Structure 1
Amino acid sequence: MKSSVEWWKSCSVFALWQACLLGGILLLSGTGFAQLSTAKLSGVVKDPSGAVVPQCKVVLKNVATAVEHTTTTNDAGAYLFLDITPGRYVVSASAADFGKQQVPEFSLEVGQAATIDFALTVGSQIEVVTVHGATPQLETTSANLGLVVATKQVNDLPLNGRDFTQLLTLTPGVSPVNNSQSGPGQGNYAEPAPGNVAPTIPSVNGSANRSNYFFTDGLSNFGAFHSVYAVPPIIDEIQEFKVVSHADSAEYGSVIGGVVNVVTKSGTNDLHGSLFEYARNGIFDGQQPHTHSRPDFRQNEFGGVVGGPVLIPKLYNGKNKTFFFAAYQGFRYSLTQATDIRVPTAAELAGDLSSWGTQIYDPFSTRPDPANPGQFIRDPFPGNQITPDPNMVAWAKFIFPAAGPVLDTNTLANATDSTPTTQHINQFTAKIDQKFGQNDSAWFRYSHDTSVESASLGLPGIPQVVTIPNRNYGGSYVHVFSPSLIVQAQFGRTEVGDNATASFTKSTAALISQIGFSPAFVGNFKAAPGRSFLPGAGIAGFPSVGEVYALHPQVPTANQFSGVVTKTIGNHVINIGGGFISNKFYSPITTDNLTFLAGATGNTDPTDKVNTGDPLASFLLNVPAQADRRNVVTETRPGGVMSEFVQDSWRATPKLTINAGLRYDVTFYPPMGTSKQIGINGGPETGDVDFNNGTYIIQKLPPLCSTRGFAPCLPGTGALPAHVVVSPNDKILHNDWKNFGPHLGFAYKAMDGLVVRGGFGIVYDNWAGVLQTAQNISGLWPDIGQQEAANLNAPTSASPTPTVTAQNPFAIAAGNNFFPAPDPFGQVGFEYDPNLKDPYAEQWNFGVQKLINSSTTLTVNYVGSSMHRLDVAGTYGGATTPSTINFDQSRALYPYIAPTFYDRSVGSGNYHGLQASLDKRYTNGFSYGVSYTFSKAIDVGGDGFYGVEGGVPQDAYNPARFDRSVSGLDLTHILSVNTLYEIPVGRGKRFSTGHGVLDYIVGGWQINNLFQAHSGIAFTPIIGGDWANTGQAGWTGYEHLNKVGNPGLSHKSAGEWFNTAAFAAPTKGTFGDAGRNSLRGPSYWNLDTSLFRIFPVGERRQFEFRAEAFNVLNHVDLGQPHNDISNIQLFGVIDSVASTARQLQLAAKFIF
């Protein structure tokens, strides 16, 4: 009780501190998260002699809304416009005794810090001088890395599934390799991906895929559990976006990868909008390379956007001040595929297994072998005729469809599962912008996304339905106290859900009652009180499905608060900013399963047991071999990330700007469990092993099992087992209060059209894996999140015949519950070092930016980083050295602690890259962008988290010894090219027929291309199992092979990608010497193309017809080769593809 009070007291102290700090920001000066998605414009006004002009009036006007921002220059002649919505603008400067100067229409982009200087001439303010060539094309005030993807590119480039993340790779330094668990998409581990197209979760400048952050309009739009966006923006609502990294500004931070800033559109003074529909059908696609068939699917995306001034006839005219924007998109996807499956025949369910090629033995005849003490004998079933248990027959008839004729003699498939895969997504956004006079403005946006996907689990009649409701909403308020002091307040909220259920379409209640399943096995679930779930029946050779409740995680809420103020003093723009983004997690997991193996009905004679017995016979006789049950509710108390910074941007000379800042980040790790009573809410009574000292930490001490009556509880009489301690403050992970990150950079205008830039910063990663790491210890001792029973019904001298049935495999007496083991040291879970620290990176870059012409810019940068405290995972706690002797617990790091999955922040890495981009803005109907990266990423532990994302070291106690090598995210070469080309034929174009009707017919064509290519992905030749006898093997291969020759081949092929004879299994009891990621898979390239026909409808409307082809050349990109020598037939063979066959999409769009 005391520790809970102390925890809430610390929360209260933090809340008070944050409130005081934000209040101070609002009274002083600062920059918060909102400015990440806006632009700023600054400059200096001088007279003909070069002297500065103070008190000069500068007006910035939005072309679309006519909203004006007005300021005056200070004593240094400097002016500043902050928090400017990206768009098209004109700016003018005027002062007494000088003529008015105006810069014609130009663009301000997301995250841009533009500079326009004025040199006034003597004259009357009535005279207006238009200054050409002053529009900002170069980044002259910042060394930040990043590239803006503009509205035209977002709307016109071909995007499969219309997911904007496919365009992230247009930015240099962005690698499309994805090792994270977010990879599969479609509701599994990622937020809703349309159809079968997963989102791009990139690696930025060598960082892990989870080390990115997503903002929309400056609001956190982040699914913190899997480190992807929460609500994907609709393509037609995107104004533009930018991936920022290696920033010399302290306002960027909290991740060591990229910060993705998406800006949504706002309304204008005129009513604008569009209606659209995109359609795909499998009949238009190319044949899949391996199956030579086309998928039978249909896909439609439809919706519209509209924006304009808020007008209420005779009541309110919102022109120039109040604007609205709304967007809706629906997505419908259906894939019909017939999967051949094997189900029991009527004869087999009657006990006739004579068609089986293996002899089946009667487990109930098992008895000691008098001739061989310690061994057993049992009798065969004559003719493989058995007497099934009627309950098991009823179970089989319920879950399996009726068998038909054999469809495949190899698999013996005799039935078909034609359950369609469907997905319905509905998205909408509503946004309002308000200008309150010259000094105040505000906006509010609400975005909602709901995805419902249904797919087969392997049998008809039991679909898995994944429902994902997500929301992202919030707003911002800006007040200008004076031309030198601007204040902004902002809030946001993100809600992410991921709820999965799998239930039979028929009621299972009567069957569960008929079979007589124990409630202790199929019921009594924390997340579903009063409900029972039919277990999964695992029978080798047959589909195995069972009911599931809320399999996937839910992250209910994340709240964001930040303050924004900017103070200009002379040539200094000083920012002090800060904010807090909370995170919280909730996840129920409810499953129960049984496994039936051939051994239960096989021969017990060790000399004649191979190829005997049958899993189906074991099932029909009700002799299970294994059982498992998951019953856990994971919930965390609120955590979050606090970020504060101070930044000074000093225009030291007209050509040199110096940026210096300091950022402070703290991760408040969300403690596992709530402070509520156990029940549907997860409790804090769980634990974690500490391999630093061989102890086990209980987060909070629970009552005795004899008192509480259910887990979590303390077994025995109440004395703690040896080496078990209790946390003094209900926490296992503790906050790191030392995350200070300095930033320093410069931008120097060496000459007209050439800028030299460089920067350095230290950045901490406060978000990558935080929630998933926190929840990994849910259900651990003294709780019981998962129960497992193996070797059920294995004959013993005391009990040679089966005694455990499917009805009650854990043999729990009626009315009783599961209780934890006497101590925690035999459990295996995803545990972590209690001393985990936030990763951090030292980042630097140096480069030049050259203006080739008025619309084309060349940027070249050297980019480097040194990363520290990266996650190293895999099984830990085994033997410290290899041995020829099989592993046993006596050789473990601590003989009383079983090896378990374990995460430590002991990895490191570095990245060096040459990054170049050539960008031509859309002018005269043409634009292009070319990005190229030549880089090398080396690390240990940089591939991902928890071992399942790669990077498991051979030597767990010295990870760098064998595994510091090329990163699994490394791509030597990355090339991206995009083009938009309006064919210059027709009225008003370069080539015109001179005839209006003919021009209308032949004109209006546009062709767009997106080409992407990269080098092969690195991989390691491995061998499965525990070859070194260290006890470190998990489910992923961790041991390298020995390199005994040259792995290179003069002619690589899918049948043999590398010289397999160059590798051999290491000697038992040793580690392999082949380098980690020492081999490369095939390179990749792909070209997507779209063709538009535009039909003008009057002066302000047009109709577009679009044809888009993804992989237009139908090029086959091979996948990765099999790298595990344990399967020698497939070792070195490529039997997968990294690309799909050509896919066509047709679209119609009406724009007004």
Structure 2
Amino acid sequence: MTDSRGQASCFRILLCLITVLVFSTVTALAQLSTASLNGVVRDSTGAVVAKASVTLRNSDTGVEHNTVSNDAGTYVFSDINPGRYTLKVSAPSFSTKQVSDFVLAVNQTATIDIALVAGAQTEVVSVEAVTEQLQVSTAELGTVIATKQVNELPLNGRNFTQLLSLTPGVAPISVGQNSMGGRVGGFAAPIAEGAAFSFPSINGATNRSNYFLTDGMNNFAAFLSTYAVPPIVDAIQEFKVVSHTDSSEFGSVLGGVVNVVTKSGTNQFHGSAWEYLRNNAFDSQDSFNPIVQYHQNQFGGAIGGPVALPALKHNTFFYFAYQGFRYNKPIRSRILVPTAAMYGGDFSSYCTAGFTAGLCNNPGQQIYNPYTTVPAGSGFSRTPYLNNQIPVGNNPGDIQPQIVTFLQSVLPAAGSFDPVFNSNAFDADPNTQHQNEYNVRLDHTFGQKDSVWFRYSLINSDVLKPTSLPGLQTTDTIPGRNWGGNWVHTFSPSLQLQALFSRTTVSDNAYTKFKTDLSSVIQTAGFAPGFASNFSGASGWLLPNYQLGNNYVSAGESVVLTPQATDNNQVSVTVNKLKGTHTFTVGANYISSVFSSPLSFDSVGFANGQTGNGNGNGGFSVASALIGVPDSANRRDVAERTRPGGLFSAFFQDSWKATSKLTVNYGIRYDLTLIPPYGTKETFDKSGGIETGDFDFSNGTYVLQYPPPPCTVRGHAPCIPSIMLDPQGNAVACDPSTQTCLPPGTLPPHVVVDPRGRISHNTYTNLGPHLGFAYRVRERTVLRGGAGVVYDNWAAVSQMSQNIEGDWPGIGQLIANNLNVPGGSTAPSGTPTATYGDPFSAGGVSAGLPAPTPFFSGGVNWHYDPHIKNAYAYQFNFGIQHQINSTTTITGSYVSALTHRANIGGVYNTALKPSPLPNPQSRALFPYMIQTFYDRSVGFADYHAFQLSVDKRFTGGLAYQVAYTFSKALDENDGWFGAEGKNVADPYNPRASLSPAGFDLPHLLTVNANYELPVGQGKRYSTGSHAVDYIVGNWQVNGILSVRSGQRYSVTDNNGDPANTGNVGWAGYEQANLVGDPNSGSCPNGAAVHTQTCWFNASAFAAPASGTFGNLRPDPFQAQRYWNVDFSVFRGFPLWGEARKVEFRAEAFNLFNTVVFGSPNGDVSNPSNFGTVTSRANANNARVLQFGLRFIF
């Protein structure tokens, strides 16, 4: 059963708005991917000139747009394709004035006022558009990245997102799950392997809080919050990152709208063909990883021009582009595997302090037999393995031979140990990718009243990627499509309508499997069928991810099929009306969204505590693994699907030219996120289907969408198990054949059913006002300011909506943590009962059995507050812009954002306060509920910045841009699901975790430039000889300089649950104690701080006492400052005619081979690696050289 009331209501609203918009007399056109031009026509005395004829002509296509000035002398051209234009204005008794060859950029609202002088209308006076770069009509933030920069700046892998950081306020640091674009794994964005990819934070918003448009059409992968189909670089005309705008036409995200415009054809045929080559012979040595052989080729071609048919030649244009990518490179991952001695039971090397009477002199490195556990006072006692020698045999507590055989079958043999990288083996399987992209666009003009365009973009990406285990590879296929069209109709010079439709689809099917069938190995190892097989989305057996812990390798098999990773339809309508000095805008937009993905995988993890002394000290995770005593387990087998959801938006905007110097913009926007309800009617009776539920911790209930039948009727999960009540009123299992049970289908206490058949409640109050101004102080100087309320309508909604898959009363998702902890449910007397082969068979949960546990709190999952709301921000900016000369502007702005209802993830329903007392469950908010991941809209974030930019357009052989940001970004939680950046330590007091965001970069500077050397024919330095000029001329250099503060990092205690709150999530929620100065003194090995082996003074930190929180807040420290130069040299070889040439390119990424360290190991519970650096900073690779050859015509 689908709840279609919200969808039908939205379509009715949209239809009504379309009707109103078409017939309204006070509406104006939005310009997401286009530009607009306005101005006032006056005479020499300053009086306005009405009914003046105004013609705007595209210099490349010859297409003309005509209008007349109104009674206020105002003219407006809206929805104009970006490009080079000429403006001509004429009126009786006045000379015609022509403004020649100026540029209109994407989303630009340009103003060119015209002063006519008396004279003959046939007399043409030409002038230069000196100040069209000035932003005199809006207060929005953003920088246009023009065609020359897109096509000629060095791009590693030719992915356009690298250019986002050329805009002030864009921090290229990601703490999100999509930090590398997904790449592979079932939810990936199609990205070329080896390519640099940016998933930035924009103006202090989270990495997920951005939105992507191509030609004004939705091109957004909602699950990953990035683009769906990447545009081919050579098909991009320009793009702009729009943020903090005073226009209500933009919204739905707190960060930036990335607005890409593709090229269209012109009245002459133009195009190019290219190939770029990279291989290991060109690259520099990586200080952290050895060079391996690889080959990369990127090639393609593009052509555009008029459609060569007599009836279409002057008003129909096409553009076509193709790009192929081929890649082959072994990853050569450094990994740590058990040694032969460990397989034989000899762990003496683990004790680095030596032994006395068979006991390790460092108690933290002594290993104990968990099967000898006995109560001792308020704790437990265990027998140590003398000299850390564990016998091999079949008795409990022995090294199990079947586990040794299993691990030796899937892990490589250990080689020599590398202490720098903590590794003793490699995975050198190849990483290959075949990728093909196509883009075609048609533009057509029907006279003066109608114009249309249509674009179709597709990509097919096939990746074969190694994991960290030799022989275990992921095969990933990603097809993506983005297509649609746009129609503009002009009713009159003052009234226009625009209608747009688009469709975006991406699917991603990933199989992670060993090259050889390991079914017999898995069964021989002792894994139960209910744990390692019987998956609905995968046939046969799946090798469990055997997580050895302590930085030892772990990897397993999985199947993740996502036929609808992205599936969107978009309908958008806007209309415009010019009335006096007002330009009004009303628009409506609806984008549907649906998702489906079967998931199948399993894992079992190990920790030190299971072979510790029973009281939290000692033990070794590898020993726990070889004995077969797990700490955690996960099994996921679901058929994820959502019902349709999406986003409905409507806005009103007025741009009012209050005076000749002052423009005031005001408007209001409404955004309604329709959270996709989980499950479809096809998934009734399916694992991970519609019969599932979610916690509501506001009242302590568990909410079901649809109650399934009793287990006595259906016979398998999802179903309502037979129960009875214990003396405390809690539900307990009941066997109908031998016990008196409650009536079949009776729900356990605290379980309720939502009569709507869905969990989430949409937020209907997202109304955001906008106000801004632009005041022209002088001819070349503008003051601008704006404020508005903006909502985050897309961030993580798609992923969040499917997170409850397989929850009670299903068993599609099972997570168990803190297994075999003495005194816990799986080791009540101290002796372990949960086994590695069937870890869910103990403690009341059983994977693969026909019925779920009677307790609705039986398994941890990623839940969310059913009443969760969209985050919103109060955004402000104030700045000044000055045009230095006809091609150069400088802009300085203060930018601020105060975000409320920000997401707080991590684990909830923990103990209300940390305490050393046992049984944290009894101290939970709702003791009858488990601790679980839980996302809530209760957070706060704060951003303040000064932003400076200098923009010089290409003239005299030179173009450059400078972008500098000085900022502070604070938040309590960096992202979603307890998996993105920092997490709050105390979920009941998130403000205690307010600290620098994981993407906070106090200083951020980028400089980019294109420079044609002034040597050769027609240049400043010419020899006068055509032959000599041909040889020495035609050189160009290009570069990008990036300098920024070091990335933020935390120092944490990752040893389980130090605060003893019952936190069952990822280790590392607990901050360490700061007890000294980490930047002073020296390291234990005598090295100075801020070196690779000792980035900070480790003695400045201490683990918090048991049952307490640490005194640090998250992310107080910074890693090494980052700086990088990407550089290229072009040499052109002109052919016949000026428009044809062959161009050779040499590009260097990280030109000076600068090594920038990544964040150090900040786990105070891991003293062997604490404070060491074992990786380079994000996006910092050893120098890579690339050579290219292009033919341009």
Same fold (TM over 0.5): yes
1:1015 paired residue number:
1045
CA deviations on 1:144-200 (whole Å, 9 max, x unpaired) are 111101011111111111111111111111111211111133235651232233421
Q: Residue 690 of structure 2 corresponds to which residue in structure 1?
A: 684
SS in 1 for 2:748: coil
Cα shift at 1:365 = 15
* Structure 1 match to 2:456: 446
Q: How does 1:308-707 map to 2 (within 5 A)?
A: 308-312=305-309, 316-336=310-330, 384=392, 399=410, 417-507=427-517, 520-528=530-538, 531-535=540-544, 545-550=555-560, 554-593=564-603, 628-678=634-684, 683-707=689-713
Instruction: Give the letter for the 1:777 counterpart.
Output: I
**Aligned with residue 242 of structure 2, among 230, 239, 244:** 244
Q: Contact 1:712–1:781 (CA<8 Å) still a contact in 2?
A: yes
Cα distance between partner residues in 2 of 1:342 and 1:145:
48
Distance in 2 between residues matched to 1:1044 and 1:344, nearest whole Å: 35
- Secondary structure of 2:118's partner? coil
Task: Name the aligned partner's letter for residue 1125 of structure 1.
Answer: V
| 1:994 counterpart (1024, 1042, 1059) | 1024
What CA distance in whole angstroms lies between the structure 2 residues aligned with 1:1149 and 1:331? Answer: 16
The answer to whether 1:24 aligns with 2:20 is: yes
Match in the other structure for 2:1159: 1120
Evaluate the alpha carbon distance shift between residue 340 and residue 827 of structure 1 in structure 2; reply closer, same or farther with a 3 A threshold: closer
Deviations 1:194-235 (A, max 9, x none): 223342111111111111111010001111011111111111
State the 1:1027 CA deviation: 2.8
1:779-824 Cα offsets, whole Å, 9 max, x none, are 1111212246786999999999999795998599999844211021
Is the 1:634–1:778 contact (alpha carbons within 8 Å) kept by the matching residues of 2?
yes
Determine the structure 2 residue equivalent to 1:915.
947
Equivalent position SS for 1:689: strand
C-alpha distance in 2 between matches for 1:986 and 1:382? 79
AA of the residue aligned to 2:697: F
- Contact 2:369 2:382 (8 Å CA) reproduced: no
Show CA shifts across 1:238-287 (max 9, x none).
Answer: 10010111111110100111111000000111111101111111222111
Residue 1083 of structure 1 is matched in structure 2 by 1121
1:887–1:1059 distance in 2 versus 1, CA, 3 Å: farther
- Relative to structure 2, which stretch is displaced further, 775-784 or 1123-1132? 1123-1132
Using the alignment, how far apart are the partners of 1:281 and 1:843 within structure 2?
46
In structure 2, the residue matched to 1:299 is 296
CA distance in 1, matches of 2:245, 2:848: 59
Moved more, 910-919 or 194-203: 194-203
Contact 2:1134 2:1141 (8 Å CA) reproduced: yes
Structure 1 residue 906 corresponds to structure 2 residue 938: yes
What is aligned with 2:1145? Answer: 1106
2:1134 to 1071, 1079, 1096: 1096
Match for 1:334: what amino acid? N
The answer to whether the 8 A contact 2:28-2:496 is kept is no
Q: How far has the Cα of 1:487 moved from its partner?
A: 0.4
1:283 aligns to what SS in structure 2? helix
1:955 alignment partner AA:
D
1:680-709 Cα offsets, whole Å, 9 max, x none, are: 695322111122111111122122222222
1:1030 match: 1061
In the superposition, relative to structure 1, how do residues 694 and 294 fare at CA in structure 2: closer, same or farther (>3 Å)? Answer: same
Q: Does residue 931 in structure 1 map to residue 963 in structure 2?
A: yes
**Paired residue type of 1:997:** A
Q: Secondary structure at the match of 1:977?
A: strand
Q: Which residue of 1 aligns with 2:977?
A: 946
Please identify, of 832-841 and 195-204, the stretch whose mean Cα deviation from structure 2 is larger.
Answer: 195-204
5+ long unaligned stretches in structure 1: none
RMSD over aligned Cα atoms: 3.9
Shift of 1:395: 6.5
Q: How many residue pairs were aligned?
A: 1130
The 3-state SS of whatever aligns with 1:177 is coil
State the AA in 2 paired with 1:825.
Answer: S
**Cα displacement (A) at 1:338:** 5.1
- Conserved 8 A contact 2:306-2:316: yes
Q: 1:801 and 1:12, CA in 2 relative to 1: closer, same or farther beyond 3 A?
A: closer
Looking at structure 1, the residues matched to 634 and 997 of structure 2 have their Cα atoms a distance apart, in angstroms, of 36
Q: Deviations over 1:341-381 (max 9, x none)?
A: 79999x999x988999999xxx9999999999x99999999
Tell me how far 1:521 sits from its aligned partner. Answer: 4.2
Distance 1:744 1:803 in 2: 61
Displacement of 1:725 after TM fit? 1.0
Aligned amino acid, residue 7 of structure 2: C
> Is 1:1147 matched up with 2:1174?
no
Q: For 1:321 and 1:741, locate their aligned partners in 2 and report how far apart those are by CA, in whole Å.
A: 40
CA distance in 1, matches of 2:467, 2:618: 33
Structure 2 letter corresponding to 1:906: V
Which amino acid counterpart does residue 1042 of structure 2 have in structure 1? Answer: Q
Normalised by the size of structure 2, how large is the TM-score? 0.87
Instruction: Please list, as runs of the form range in 1=range in 2, the aligned pairs for 1:770-849 lying within 5 A after superposition.
Output: 770-787=797-814, 806=837, 810=841, 817-849=849-881
Which runs of 5 or more structure 2 residues have no equivalent in the other structure? 351-357, 359-367, 723-743, 1082-1087
**Match of 2:514, SS?**
coil
Establish whether residue 889 from structure 1 lines up as the match of residue 921 from structure 2. Answer: yes
Task: Write the deviation string for residues 941-970 of structure 1: whole angstroms up to 9, x where unpaired.
Answer: 3x222222123223221111x222332222
Residue type at the aligned position of 1:1010: I
Counterpart in the other structure of 1:875: 907
Q: Distance in 2 between matches of 1:227 and 1:18?
A: 25
Secondary structure at the counterpart of residue 1109 of structure 1? strand
Distance 1:385 1:697, change over 3 A: closer
Q: What is the CA distance between 1:394 and its match in structure 2?
A: 8.9
Cα distance 1:471–1:33, how it changes in 2: closer, same or farther (>3 A)? farther
CA deviation map 1:766-788 (0-9, x unaligned): 01111111112111111212246
**Deviation of residue 442 (structure 1)?**
0.5
Is the partner of 1:296 in helix, strand or coil? coil
1:1053 counterpart = 2:1097: no
Cα distance in structure 2, aligned partners of 1:467 and 1:964: 41
Q: In structure 2, the residue corresponding to 1:1073 is in which secondary structure? A: coil
- What is the alpha-carbon distance in structure 2 between the residues aligned to residue 877 and residue 813 of structure 1? 20
- Cα shift readout 1:913-959 (whole Å, capped 9, x = no counterpart): 11111111100100111111111222323x22222212322322111
Q: 1:192 to 1:986 in 2, by over 3 A?
A: same
Q: Secondary structure, in 3 states, of the residue corresponding to 1:580? A: strand
Deviation (angstroms), 1:1131: 3.1
Which residue does the alignment assign to 1:766? 793
Alignment check: 8 A CA contact 1:689 1:832 kept = yes
> Which residue identity lines up with residue 285 of structure 2 in the other structure?
Q
- State the shift of 1:845 in Å: 1.1
Residue 398 (structure 1) shift: 6.7
One-letter amino acid of the counterpart of residue 681, structure 2: S
Q: Which moved more, 1:552-561 or 1:479-488?
A: 552-561
1:125 positional shift: 2.5
CA drift at 1:565: 0.7
Distance 1:366 1:647 in 2: 72
Question: Equivalent pairs: percent with the same residue?
Answer: 47
Match of 1:1053, as an amino acid?
H
TM-superposed deviation, 1:20: 1.9
Judged with a 3 Å threshold, the aligned counterparts in structure 2 of structure 1 residues 415 and 1132 are, in CA distance, closer, same or farther, namely: closer
Residues of 1 paired with 2:860 and 2:886: CA distance?
A: 63
Q: Secondary structure of the equivalent of 1:772?
A: helix
Is the Cα–Cα contact under 8 Å of residues 638 and 687 in structure 2 kept in the other structure?
A: no
Q: Secondary structure at the match of 1:325?
A: strand
Partner of 1:168: helix, strand, or coil? helix
Aligned-residue offset at 1:446 = 0.9
SS in 2 for 1:828: coil
